[in-house]
Structure 1
Amino acid sequence: MKLTLENLKENYVILIIKMLIAFLFIFNLINAILKITHHYDVAIGISENKLVDYFYIITRFSYLRPLIISLIPFIGIFIKRKIGWILIQSYFYFLATNLVFMVIKDDSINNNSILMHAITFSILFLIIILMNKKTISKLNYGIEKKELINKNNIALIIGISITTILIYIKAN
């Protein structure tokens, strides 16, 4: 689909979602680099080789985990096929299931945090609904209406799987 002024007016939602994903990826990249360099500055002299020190920090600490997870939808924004839509959608399902798990796990919930979690979940749910609109799913990614349930189930399974893997990694 060629990007024209008419298409831009119709598909501004997908452009905003893609910009949000790109922003989150860049934010996670900068945050990971800052945490790794800060850790290196604090723990100078683990070995005599800087490269070995950085490799040790990267492999032993989870500073790159958010970056790796945000890489999934970042790749998806460049793929204009069904798999791109699934990658993007699975990220929002991951965020929603991760938020639900955090709320269930949190013992000290007050009214302000309930309101903030409800607003965040509503925004994620709105994005999921917008990604299922015909102008995005059919026209941009070629997903027919009858395929949406299957593709959403695949994206949901991927999102829940990522959340489950993270929970398991944090537990061990």
Structure 2
Amino acid sequence: MTARISMFLACLSLAALTALFVAIIALRFAGISIPSADEIAGILLGGTLALGFAAAVPKDQHIAVDFFVDKLGTKGAAAARALAAVIMIAIIFYLLIGFSRMWYTAWLSGITMLGHLPIPRWVPMGVVLLGLIMLEISLVLRFLQRVISEGFGPAKHDFLEGEL
């Protein structure tokens, strides 16, 4: 469920980013510029990436480089994948705590973006924060799923090899 919500929100963010780029290009021919377009584009890109990662994790549809891990044998590779999952959960959690504090401080202070439009900084930071929250939830749920039922074997599908 979190993957579908994340993918939907990532698609909305990407669609908004695309519309912004098209508007910037089209309006440039008329000599019109969009205030704070750079800041808005950065926000949408950050949201798209974080939400997209959260959507890719549950089905192992992300890039995994396991050349060295596969050389460890079955048990060693499983242990390395489990360790990597725990480390990733810890890193994203640490980032999530720090970013949450930054978001809360921006919300309390009412500080705005540096661009021409007075966009409160907590609004765009909230887009990225939502993506990080969804990513952490996806990582934890995927880890638990692997612990309870699947194990930490290789990914079930390899898109480069044509296996689905």
Same fold (TM over 0.5): no
TM score, norm. by length of structure 1: 0.34
Q: Which has the higher contact order (CA 8 A, sep 6+)?
A: 2
TM-score normalized by the length of structure 2? 0.35
